[in-house]
Amino acid sequence: MKRGSTLQIGIGTLFALVSAAIQAQDAADIAGLGKKLAANNCAVCHTFGKDEPNGQGPNLFGIVGRPMAAQPGFKYSAGMKAAAAGKVWDEHLLDAWLSDTQTVAPGNAMTYFEGDEARRRKIIAYLNTLH
Ligand code: HEC
């Protein structure tokens, strides 16, 4: 009885470790796909590397967890600054932003949206790795 429950715990732990590893691999794959999407869709205006210069849009290194409109040296639009008070970028806000920037910050200057939910999820998974 005692031996049996020890074995069960052992198998349970192993299963948890394996499924955590599979989940981590899935997350890495999704972020990898997101990196390609970002290169193709965002990189005309944004840089992603640490300390890279701003482009037409602000540098996005560390965007998850950063307050809105807070990248040093970037001249944000009046609309963006007006909407920014108290807002910090998280996955939910990024999803809303990429779906329709104008509902998040009316009058902002980013002329891009991504209507495909699965593509947004991948892009945001990639942004989440930039720390
Ligand atoms: C045509 C140029 C352009 C493209 C393409 C573009 N952006 Fe932007 N983005 C901007 C501009 C300009 C701003 C600043 C808007 C303002 O100040 O009104 C901005 C702002 C942002 C912000 C807010 C940053 C901050 O510091 O608060 C995020 C997040 C963002 N973009 C993500 C993306 C992502 C992700 C993509 C690709 C899926 C993308 N953008 C594609 C031009 C672009």
Spell out the domain ranges in the chain: 31-127
Nearest residue by C-alpha to atom 13 in ligand 1: 57
State in Å: Cα 85 to ligand 1 middle: 17
The answer to whether the CB of 111 is under 6 A from ligand 1 is yes
Residue 3 structure tokens: 């031996």
Tell me the CA end-to-end span of the chain in Å, nearest whole number: 48
Q: Does domain 31-127 have CATH number 1.10.760.10?
A: yes
The H-or-E segment that residue 127 falls in is helix 117-127
Please check whether residue 66 is in contact with residue 93, taking contact to mean a CB–CB distance below 8 angstroms: no
User: Which position has the token pair 């949206």?
Assistant: 113
State in Å: Cα 43 to ligand 1 middle: 10
pLDDT tens digits, the chain, 131 residues: what are they? 556 667 777 888 888 888 888 888 888 899 999 999 999 999 999 999 999 999 999 999 999 999 999 999 999 999 999 999 999 999 999 999 999 999 999 999 999 999 999 999 999 999 999 99
Please give the model's pTM, rounded to 2 decimal places. 0.88
Q: Which amino acid would we find at residue 64? A: V
